[in-house]
Structure 1
Amino acid sequence: MSLDLSSVIRTIPDYPKPGIMFRDVTTLMGHPQAFSQVIGDLMAGYAGRSIDKVAGMEARGFIFGAPVAERLTAGFVPIRKKGKLPHKVASETYQLEYGEDVLEMHLDAVEPGERVLIIDDLIATGGTAEAAIRLLEKAGAEIIAAAFVIDLPELGGADRIRRMGIEVSSLVSFGGH
């Protein structure tokens, strides 16, 4: 029996600033049935699609992406904030609401032509996902899709990624910010 995932995701009003409804997936991760369901649902649409690697963005993308990679018998690529990876990296700068940030990936994380699925906990404006896609494409990867636990459709991130020609899926949508 499937759970209504929205019922196990905590909403925290006015965090990190007034007017924001923060969608906290730690409650979902702490619920064994919900967590297992999410991993199964995230990978279900991609089983049999010859995925070579799953890429997850720091930090919650690691939590969901690594078990999806294992179930797909694929490798896992951590995409991290600047300065966290110990070997030679490629970098991609992206815009935040108030400034910019940098994502990095090891240069040898993917081989040209490898088929990659991107996983993260949430898509809002799509800036982080777009930066991850650009990093992976610079390395020669073929992006198969981007899958998220939560979509905030009013912020337009999923549509932004679709405009890049990337298939996007999510398990739960919440209105508002």
Structure 2
Amino acid sequence: MKMDIAKNLINLGAVKFSPNDPFKYASGLRGPIYCDNRIILSHVEFRDQVIQAFIDVIKQNNLSFDHLGGIATAGIPHAAFIADRMKRSMVYVRPKAKEHGRKNQVEGAFNAGEKVLLFEDLVNQGASLEEAMGGLQGAELKCDACLCVVDYEMQGAKDRLSNLSIQLFSLTDFTSLTLAAFELNLIDQKGMDLLKEWHADPKAWSMRL
């Protein structure tokens, strides 16, 4: 499944590689890969494949939950599509609480002590997931798992997941994406090596440019 999802993401233009002319990220750092999973929403056939893949992961791993939870903003559509398909309750989690109205960070109808299964589109360093977990804890909700389309398999995210006691399930990952790009002749061995160097220490790699 992971290679199939990876190749579809690449073919649809959701994932791009540029080892020789790195992308600039919102953090200010640079890197040789860029992922925009929002493109999935515009491609109905692949979107259905992604939704079904998520549902398969839920069933195969016997993941229990009271609500599906989308992490704002990119995780919300996936949670919504799956909640509709499975006929289950859904909430969503903001990066921080609103400063007006009820000042909610978690939106939806729920009771303290209930369990949320989180959805994210991309897990890089895990910062947005950590923020979402803080919001759930503030609302007295439980969570022990998150599903995402792409996991960059970064050590920083692994450390955060361990500290949060969260299990992450991804439809594809950095390893599969780079291998798929190599098989599709989008990068050569030199490009593969460069991607691995970046992945080992993104900050140090970016600072050398």
Distance 1:49 1:154 in 2: 24
Does the C-alpha gap of structure 1 residues 85 and 54 become closer, same or farther in structure 2, counting only changes over 3 Å?
farther
**Which ranges in structure 2 are unaligned for 5 or more consecutive residues?**
176-198, 203-209
Higher relative contact order (CA 8 A, sep 6+): 2
CA change 1:152–1:129 in 2 (3 A) is same
| Separation of aligned partners in 1, 2:139 and 2:100 | 18
TM-score (normalizing by structure 2): 0.66
Percent of counterpart pairs with the same letter?
A: 25
- For 1:56, give the aligned amino acid: G
C-alpha deviation, 1:163, in angstroms: 3.3
SS of 2:118's equivalent in the other structure is: strand
Output the CA distance in 1 between the equivalents of 2:115 and 2:129: 16
Q: How many angstroms apart in 2 are the aligned matches of 1:135 and 1:54?
A: 15
Instruction: Pick one of 26, 46, 53 that aligns with 1:34.
Output: 46
**Take 2:141 and 2:96, find their aligned partners in 1: how far apart are those partners?**
21
Which aligned runs of 4 or more in structure 1 are off by greater than 6 angstroms? 83-86
Equivalent residues in 2 for 1:58-77, closer than 5 Å = 58-77=72-91
Which has more strand, going by share of residues?
1
Letter matched to residue 72 of structure 1: M
2:36 aligned partner, one-letter code: D
Give the CA RMSD over aligned residues.
2.8
Please name the residue that 1:105 is paired with: 106
- Show the 5 A alignment for 1:155-166: 155-166=155-166
**Count of residues paired in the alignment:** 163
Task: State how far apart, in whole Å, the 2-side matches of 1:83 and 1:111 are.
Answer: 18
Q: 1:24 aligns with which of 15, 19, 36?
A: 36
CA deviations 1:21-62 (Å, max 9, x no partner) are: 211213433332321121112122324644211111121101
1:80-126: CA deviations, max 9, x gaps? 24576864124xxxxxxxxxxxxx324x6431121210001010111
Choose 113-122 or 12-21, whichever is displaced more.
12-21
Structure 1 or 2: more helix by fraction: 2
Q: Indicate how the Cα distance of structure 1 residues 63 and 145 shifts in structure 2: closer, same or farther if over 3 A, else same.
A: same
TM normalised by structure 1 equals: 0.76
Unaligned runs of 5+ in 1: 91-103
